[in-house]
Structure 1
Amino acid sequence: MSGHPSCRRFSEEEIVRIKDMNKAGIAPRQILSSLRQNNPNLLAVSRTLYNVKAKIRKDSLGGRTMIQALMDELDENGFKYSVEHDCEGHLTHLFFTYPISIALTKSYSTVFVMDCTYKTNKYKMPLLDIIGVSSFNSCFYSCFAFLQKEGEKDYIWALSMFRNLLGVSCQPSVIVCDKEFTLINAIKVVFPSTTNLLCVWHIEKNIVAKCKSHFEEGEDWDTFLSNWTCVRNSVSESKYHEALQYFESRYKEKGVLLNYIRSTWLPLKELFVVAWIEKCIHFGNHATSRAEGAHGILKKYLQVSTGDLSMVKDRICLAIKNQFQEIKAQLSSEKINVPRHFKIPLFKDLVTYVSVFALEELFKQYKKSKFDIELLACKGHFSATMGLPCSHKIRSLESEVLDLVDINQQWRLDMRSFSEYET
C-alpha cells in the first residue's frame, strides 16, 4: 500500500501538528518520528512531509512574493528594519532586529561583538551578526544584517542602521571584531569615538598558520609563542617596547617572519596589546568567540543553508525568544537567590542587586585583598576594564562594605526587569 501516494497522505490532525512543529523549528526527521509514535501505521515518507511543508509555505505567502511576505511580517510583528534595493528592484541589504532584542540592546549598550557568518540562506548573502553581553556575562542577539557583499560601504550602511537603533545617548564604548579591514574602517566612520578591539584568538590562529613552518623543533616554536605572548601582554608602553626589542633581536635571522609580524600586526598594536586595550571598559571581551558560538547556535536553528530570507528570519526569532527567556528567568532568579559564600559584610549592599558573575569577580578580588600579604602595584586595569572595585580598593575600604555606586551599570540587576516584554 505504501507504493500508492494516496495512502501516504497525512490526516488533517497530522497536518495541524506538522504546522505547529514546523513553526517551532523542529527538523523534518524528528517531525516524522513524532508522527509515527502516535500512528505506528503511518505510511508517509520524507518526500510526503516536504511536499506538505512546501504547501504550507505557499499558502502562507497568499499570492505574495517572498520579499513582500517578509516585509509584511516584519511590519506586523513590530520589527525595526531597513532595506536597500538595486536599480532593478532586487533586495541587496536587509537590517532587522526583534522588539525584545531592542530592549536588551539598549539596556546593555556598552560592548558588542561583530562578525559575519555564511551559509545561512539560499541567496548566499553574508549575515552580519551583532552580539551583545548581558549582566550574567552571557551573550544575546542584538540585530542582524543581510549584506550584498562584505565591502566597506555595505558595513557602513549596516552600522549606520545600528547606530540609529541605539540612539544618540547609547553609543557603544567597545566593538570587538576580526582583522577585517572593511569592517574596521566602517567602525571608524560610523562610531569614531568607540574603541575597536581585535580578536586575540584569531591573531594567535593567524600567527600559528604563518609562522610555525619557520621552526623545526617544537620547543623552539613554544619559545617563540611565549615571547610573542610577552609582547602582546605588555602592561605599559615602555614594557611593550622592551618586549618587542627583545623579540626582534631574538628572531632577527628570521627576516620573513619578522616582516610578517611588523607589517601585519604591529601597526594594529593599539587594538590588541594589553597596554592599550586594558584602558577601556570591555568587561573581559577581547575575542569574537561569543560571535562564533552564537553562529553555531543559530545554524542549529536554521538546520539548512538553503532557506529563503523569511524562513531564516523565523528561525532567528525562535533563537532570540529562547535566549531572551533564559536571560529574563536568570534576572528574576538572581534577584531572590543568593549563593551562601556571598553572605559576607562586604557584599551586604550588593546581593540581589548585582549579578552573580560580577559578585564572583569581586569575591576573587576580596580574597586577594584578604590573603595576599603584599599586593602587586595597582595598575588600574581590573577596574578600568570590568567596572568593578579591585583588590586595592577593597583593602582600603574603611567601612568594609562596597557601595552600589562603585558597580558599573552593566552588572546591576536592580536597574532592569524586562517584565513588560513577552515572548
Structure 2
Amino acid sequence: MARPRIDRAEADAVLQELRRREEDDCDNFHHYELDAEHRLKNLFWADCDSRLDYFSHGDVVVFDTTYRTNKYAMPFVPFVGLSHHRTPTLFGCGIISDQSLDSYVWLLRTFLLSVAQRRPKSVITDGGDAVVAAVKIVFPDSNHRICSWHVEQAIEEHLHGASTRNEFRSLVCDACSPEAFEERWYGFMAKHRTAGNRRWLDDMYGKRELWAAAFVHDKFFLGMAGDQRTECLATRLHTGLHGGMSLPDLLRHADACAHGMRRARRRGQQSAARWFTPANFYLLREEIKMIDSFEVVEATARGHPTFGKKVYMVVFRQRRGVLFHVECSGYGVGEVIRCSCRKMEREGLPCRHILCAMRHNDSSLIPNCCALRRMRRRGDVKFERLHEMEELGRRVFDLASEDAQEFKEIKEFLEGWLDDRNAVLRGSGAVAVVDSNAADDADSVTPVTKKTKLIEG
C-alpha cells in the first residue's frame, strides 16, 4: 500500500512555524528534504534546550524508528537520552518518509549537523536492518546495541515455552566470553531451532554483537544493558499518537512532551532535596542510586483506574528470583504505599523498590506518604501545600483533559479564581515580588524557597 501524499498546506504550516522559531532564536534548528515533486519527504528539528542538553548528556543516544502512528504512516523518530539525574531528556525529533537506508542515513547525518558533528559514544536502536546499516555508515566508531525491550518482544513472538525463552534470555544477559557464547549458541540451536524460528535465529546470530552480553557488557551504555524500560525512553513521546494525527498536531505533541519531560526533571531534582533534611537526603540518595538494579516486571490495577489499587512486582536484576511487591492505594493526602521489604515501616524512608515503582509509573515527586514529617525540613509550609496541590491537580487535570466539557469547566474555574485573586491584589495596592536571589540548584541539599513579599504601594 502506497504511503499517502503529504498535504502541502500541512507541510508549509510546520515549516513556517519552525522557521519562525529559528528567527526568534538562532539556536533552534530544523532541516528538511523534498522529493522529486517538491513535497516534504524528511524533516528533523531540535530546539535550543534540546541541543544544549545533548552537549551535556549526549554520550548515549536512544532512538526508535518503529512507530508510524500518523495519518501519513511516516516513522516518527525522537532522539532521547538520560540526564545526570537519570531522567529522560530530548535531543531532537525526526519524521521520515520511509524505512529505507537512504532515509535513515539522511536522518542521522542531519542529527549530527544539529549537534555540530559531535558523535555520541554509544547508540541504542530498535535493531532494524536498515537502521543497523545506517549506524555503521554515520556512527562508525560509536558503540551500538539493540534495545533489550525490542529483543524481549521478539523472544515472545518467535520462541515458545518458558524454559526456551529463559535460555535465550541468558544469552542476552550473561556476560560470558565470546567463545563461551558460541558454544552455548550452537547448543541452543540444536535443542530449539524449528522451521518457524530458523530465519529469526539466523538473523539474531548475525547481529549477536549488538545484543548479547558477551559482546556488549563492557561497553558504555550508562547501565542500560538490561533495563528495558529505561531504553524505551522515547515511548512517552509515542504515547498519545494516533493514526489520524496531522503534521502540525505531531509537532505540537512533541513540544508538549518535551516541556513535560523538562518540567518533571526540574521538579524531580528538587523534590527529594527539598523534602528531606540533609542527613536523611543522604540516606535516600543511596536508595536512588540502586534503582537501576531493579525493574518492574508486572503491574496490575484493581478497581477504579485513578482511585483504585495498583500492585507492582519488582525484581532484582542479578537474582531474578528475588521479588518485591509494591502496593499503592488511595490518592493525595490519603495515599498509602507499602513494599514487602518493609523498609519504610522500619526506617521511615522509601526503599529502592518503591522508587523503582514510582519511576515505572512516570512519577517525579516523592509521595506525601513516603516523607514522614520527622524526616523533613522544618518550616517550609508553603512547599508542603504546593506539593500536595500538585499531586491532586495532576490527577484532576488528567481526568478533565479527557472530556471537553470538564476541561472547559476546570479551565474557567481556574481563570476566574486567578482574576478574583488579582483583583484583590490590585484593590489593596499590593504587588507580589519574587526574591531574585532564590537559587535553583537541584544538586544542592539546601531548600530552594521562593519568598514572596507583599509590599504596600
- For the aligned pair, the TM-score class normalised by the smaller chain equals 0.5 to 0.7
Q: 1:266 maps to what in 2?
A: 205
The residue matched to 2:86 in structure 1 has which SS? Answer: coil
- Asked if residue 323 in structure 1 is aligned to residue 261 in structure 2, the reply is yes
- Asked if residue 238 in structure 1 is aligned to residue 179 in structure 2, the reply is yes
> Structure 1 pair 117/361, CA: closer, same or farther in 2 (3 Å)?
closer
The residue matched to 1:225 in structure 2 has which SS? Answer: helix
Q: 2:6 maps to what in 1?
A: none
Q: CA deviation at 1:81?
A: 0.6
Q: Matches of residues 23-422 of structure 1 in structure 2 within 5 Å?
A: 65-67=12-14, 69-78=16-25, 79-116=28-65, 118=67, 120-168=69-117, 170-212=118-160, 221-232=161-172, 233-251=174-192, 254-256=193-195, 259-260=198-199, 262-286=201-225, 289-290=229-230, 292=232, 294-300=234-240, 305-333=243-271, 340=279, 343=282, 357-358=288-289, 413=443
Matched AA of 2:217: E
Measured in 1, the distance between the counterparts of 2:258 and 2:200 equals 40
103-112 or 333-342: which moved more? 333-342
Matched AA of 2:187: Y
Output the TM-score relative to the length of structure 2.
0.54
Output the TM-score relative to the length of structure 1.
0.58
Q: CA deviation at 1:340?
A: 4.6
84-93 or 335-344: which moved more? 335-344
Q: CA deviation at 1:225?
A: 2.1
The residue matched to 1:132 in structure 2 has which SS? Answer: strand
> Structure 1 pair 119/154, CA: closer, same or farther in 2 (3 Å)?
closer
Structure (1/2) with the larger strand percentage: 2
Matched AA of 1:198: I
Q: 1:46 maps to what in 2?
A: none
Q: For structure 2, list consecutive stretches of 5 or more residues without a partner in the other structure.
A: 1-8, 294-317, 319-441, 445-457
The residue matched to 2:79 in structure 1 has which SS? Answer: strand
- Measured against aligned partners, the alpha-carbon deviations of 1:296-355 in whole angstroms (never above 9, x if no partner) come to 45543x6x54343233212321221121122233334566656756748xxxxxx9xx99
Whether the 8 Å contact between 2:14 and 2:251 is mirrored in structure 1 is: no
Greater RCO (CA < 8 Å, at least 6 residues apart)? 1
> Structure 1 pair 204/321, CA: closer, same or farther in 2 (3 Å)?
closer
Whether the 8 Å contact between 1:114 and 1:288 is mirrored in structure 2 is: no
Q: 1:18 maps to what in 2?
A: none
Measured in 1, the distance between the counterparts of 2:154 and 2:57 equals 31
User: In angstroms, what is the RMSD of aligned CA positions?
Assistant: 3.4
Q: CA deviation at 1:82?
A: 0.4
> Structure 1 pair 225/322, CA: closer, same or farther in 2 (3 Å)?
closer
Whether the 8 Å contact between 2:121 and 2:220 is mirrored in structure 1 is: yes
> Structure 1 pair 261/150, CA: closer, same or farther in 2 (3 Å)?
closer
Q: CA deviation at 1:183?
A: 0.8
Whether the 8 Å contact between 1:135 and 1:355 is mirrored in structure 2 is: no
Matched AA of 1:274: A
Whether the 8 Å contact between 1:114 and 1:176 is mirrored in structure 2 is: yes
Q: CA deviation at 1:245?
A: 4.1
> Structure 1 pair 309/74, CA: closer, same or farther in 2 (3 Å)?
farther
Measured in 1, the distance between the counterparts of 2:69 and 2:196 equals 37
> Structure 1 pair 127/255, CA: closer, same or farther in 2 (3 Å)?
closer
Measured in 2, the distance between the counterparts of 1:68 and 1:274 equals 43
User: What is the aligned residue count?
Assistant: 283
Whether the 8 Å contact between 1:132 and 1:139 is mirrored in structure 2 is: yes
Whether the 8 Å contact between 2:149 and 2:232 is mirrored in structure 1 is: no
Whether the 8 Å contact between 1:115 and 1:288 is mirrored in structure 2 is: no
Paired-residue identity, %: 18
Whether the 8 Å contact between 1:85 and 1:92 is mirrored in structure 2 is: yes
- Measured against aligned partners, the alpha-carbon deviations of 1:121-165 in whole angstroms (never above 9, x if no partner) come to 433322111111122322122211111111111111111111122
Q: CA deviation at 1:288?
A: 6.2
Question: Which entry has the higher C-alpha Rg, 1 or 2?
Answer: 1
Whether the 8 Å contact between 1:120 and 1:312 is mirrored in structure 2 is: no
Whether the 8 Å contact between 1:129 and 1:143 is mirrored in structure 2 is: yes
Q: For structure 1, list consecutive stretches of 5 or more residues without a partner in the other structure.
A: 1-60, 213-220, 345-350, 363-367, 369-411, 415-423
The residue matched to 2:43 in structure 1 has which SS? Answer: strand
The residue matched to 1:265 in structure 2 has which SS? Answer: helix
> Structure 1 pair 139/167, CA: closer, same or farther in 2 (3 Å)?
same
Whether the 8 Å contact between 1:122 and 1:308 is mirrored in structure 2 is: yes
Measured in 1, the distance between the counterparts of 2:245 and 2:197 equals 45
